Amino acid sequence: MTSSVWGDHLERWFAVIGHRAPSSGTLNLNDLAGSGGRMDVLARAVNSALFVSHGIREDSHVLLHLMGGDGPSRRIWFNGSSLGGVRPDERSISGQIKAVLKEAVPPRGQFREYTSGILHSGGDIRHTIEEWSDRGVYPVILDADGGDFSDVPPSVDLGFIISDDRPLTKQDTGSIQAPVSLSLGDRWLQGHSCIAILHYLLDGL
C-alpha cells in the first residue's frame, strides 16, 4: 500500500488490552510488571501512541482496557487532542493511571474526564468496537497470522486492537469480530513497537 493512501487516514485509535492490569485499587509504581499486571506494557503503548519529540500526536487516541482485579473492567482514554500534564515516560503515565484507579468505575459508555485529556469508563473491547462503529472508526486486529495492508481500506479512521503479553481470545472479543486482521510480520512484536511501526506507515514516510 502506498504512503499517499496511508496518509489519507485522519485519526488513529489504539485499543490496548491489559488482561491482568487491575481496574481498581492501588498500583505499585515500583512493580508495574508484577503486581501491576503488566501495566508497564500498557504505559509503553501510551508513550508510543501519543508522544513525539517535544510534542503530542493530536490525531491519536489510546484506550487502555484494564481487565484484571476483582471489580468491573475499566477503560482509560488518553485523548491526544486535549492531553496535558503527562510526561512521556512510563512512570509518569502509570502515575496518572494509578490516580484514576482510585475513582469509582463509571457506567459503560459514560466517559468521565479525570483530568485534561484523560477519561475513563466501564466496559471492554466489545463496547469499544461498538463505539468505534458509531464514530466511523474501522477496527483492525493486530495479529502475526493476519493479512497484509491491502486488506485495510483507505481514507478512513483506523482503530487498532493490540493485546498485552497474552494473545487475544474469543472470550475477549465475544461475538463481535473486527473485519480485518493485520500482520506486521511473522514474528510477534511488542505492542509499543507495533504502534511505532504503524505511525511510520500512517505518517507516509
31-59 confidence digits (pLDDT tens) = 999 999 999 999 999 999 999 988 999 99
Please state which architecture CATH assigns to domain 3-202: 3-Layer(aba) Sandwich (3.40)
Quick one: pLDDT at residue 1? 34
* Residue whose C-alpha is closest to residue 149's, from 93, 204, 73, 191: 204
Rounded CA gap, 189 and 159, in Å?
18
Confidence of residue 9 (pLDDT cuts 50, 70, 90): low
Please give the pLDDT value at position 166.
83
Range with lowest mean pLDDT among 107-111, 142-146, 169-173, 199-203: 169-173
Where does the chain have alpha helices with state H? 3-6, 39-50, 90-101, 125-135, 170-173, 191-202
Range ranked top by mean pLDDT from 115-129, 148-162, 168-182: 115-129
Cα 196 to Cα 14, 44, 165, 193, 200: the distances in Å are 12, 11, 17, 5, 6
| Domain regions of the chain by residue span | 3-202
Q: Which three cell numbers stand for residue 169?
A: 481470545
Pick from 7-11, 167-171, 188-192 the range whose average pLDDT is largest.
188-192
Q: In which band, very low, low, confident or very high, does the pLDDT at 186 lie, cut at 50, 70 and 90? A: confident
**How much is the pLDDT for 26?**
93
Residue 27 DSSP code: -
pLDDT at 105 over 80: yes
pTM for the full predicted model? 0.91
Banded pLDDT at 61 (limits 50, 70, 90): very high
Burial class (CB in 10 A: 0-12, 13-18, 19+), 155: exposed
What confidence category does residue 5 fall into, taking pLDDT thresholds of 50, 70 and 90? very low
Confidence of residue 205 (pLDDT cuts 50, 70, 90): very low
